Chains A and B, each alone.
Chain A
Amino acid sequence: DAGVIQSPRHEVTEMGQEVTLRCKPISGHDYLFWYRQTMMRGLELLIYFNNNVPIDDSGMPEDRFSAKMPNASFSTLKIQPSEPRDSAVYFCASSPGNNEQFFGPGTRLTVL
């Protein structure tokens, strides 16, 4: 089985540009999570979905961040406009029900 797929794996962009990160969860998983990891803040939950519906977005840092899940097999995290402090590794994870989460390999974002 393919695990959680994220793209791109690396993204370098300039301040002010729009960034879109993509995630394909494991088939059959009904929960999807977006995390951000930095040295300063560690691992932070940004938002999670259950059956494609956003359940908790209290971790989204500000209005520049938005996430969508148009169907069970795809989700995006968008940052517009991006800022240097958004530089981090962004992880997507999925889980079958109220169980352990499976993480993707992450997208390393660098905003210059």
Chain B
Amino acid sequence: GNSVTQTEGPVTLSEEAFLTINCTYTATGYPSLFWYVQYPGEGLQLLLKATKADDKGSNKGFEATYRKETTSFHLEKGSVQVSDSAVYFCALRNGGKLIFGQGTELSVKP
């Protein structure tokens, strides 16, 4: 079946540190991959996406590359800010519905 596994949180970083949140997936066929972000008290927002192997999604300084050979879609940012503190969800879509990872809480300290 389809599943997503991501870095277990919480992850705590200092401002300007490098961020990696790992995401690996299991799926049949060729899913689309997504990163969503949820700020406190809000719904999920799409952060970036990739629809085929070797695609790189990017937005707001975040990047992730669809790696079919390692079935991964790791999220990276070179220099995090306090405002990046949120919960990050990796997801795949294979057919009608999204399959989400468990979420990774990121806390960035000044």
Contact = CB atoms under 8 A, between A and B. Distances in A.
Chain B interface main SS type: strand
Interface string B7-41: 00000000000000000000000001010100000
Interface stretch (A40-48, A69-77, A80-88): A40-48
B61 interface: no
Contacts of B96: 31, 48, 50, 55-56, 98
A105 interface: yes
A105 B43 CA distance: 5
B95 A43 contact: no
A100 B89 contact: no
Contact of B45 (A50, A55, A98, A103): A103
Interface residues of B, number: 18
A91 B100 contact: no
Contact of B43 (A56, A100, A104): A104
A31 B93 CA distance: 13
A93 B45 CA distance: 10
Nearest to B34: A100
A6 B32 CA distance: 27
23 contacts: A4-B43, A31-B96, A33-B97, A33-B98, A43-B44, A50-B96, A55-B96, A91-B44, A93-B43, A98-B93, A98-B96, A99-B32, A99-B93, A100-B32, A100-B49, A100-B93, A101-B46, A102-B46, A103-B36, A103-B43, A103-B44, A105-B43, A106-B43
